[in-house]
Amino acid sequence: MKLLHTSINVKNMDESITFYTSNLGMRLRSRREIKHNNAEIAFLEIEGTNHNIELTWWKDKKDYSEGDQLDHIAFGVSDMDGTMQRFREKGVEVAKEPYSMGDHRIAFIKDPNGIWIELIEQK
């Protein structure tokens, strides 16, 4: 068994696609309407992996509680300080500043839907 994709419920498809492509370097692979569910989905590729993120926008959904859509997604970074500086310059919300945990430095940012994104720098 292998992990194929992770799905995240989003409030605004365009804003979420822009966030993941502009800030995390993902590439939009496909986007389509799911008429029978009154929804839209988009798949974003993570370069260098076989894993994709699926963004799901339920057009009728009005009630979103921050953090209920997904706990977090984790990405490896090679330069935590430089990465955090780039995110700050782009106005990305920092949820938790970098801290050390064993052989790793960890930080969290938030996407436009309140989903926490963990950044891990291995020493």
pLDDT tens for the 123 residues of the chain, in order: 366 688 889 989 999 999 999 999 999 999 999 888 899 999 999 888 888 899 999 898 878 777 667 767 888 899 999 999 999 999 999 999 999 988 889 999 999 988 889 898 987
Catalytic member of 47, 54, 118, 121: 118
On whether both 54 and 76 belong to a single domain, the answer is: no
Torsion of CA 72, 75, 79, 84, to 10 degrees: -30
Other Cβ atoms less than 10 A from the Cβ of 92: the count is: 19
Query: What local confidence, expressed as pLDDT, does residue 70 receive?
Result: 74
**Inside any domain, residue 65:** no
Spatial separation of the C-alpha atoms in residues 27 and 47, rounded to whole Å: 8
pLDDT at 76: 87
Judge if 82 and 111 occupy the same domain: yes
d(CA 74, CA 120): 7
| pTM, rounded to two decimals | 0.75
Domain that holds residue 78: 71-123
In angstroms, the CA 11 to CA 71 distance is 16
66 is a domain residue: no
Is 47 part of the annotated catalytic residue set? Answer: no
Q: How far are the Cα atoms of 30, 61, 91 from residue 35, in angstroms, in the given order?
A: 16, 15, 34
Domain CATH for 101: 3.10.180.10
- pLDDT of 1: 38
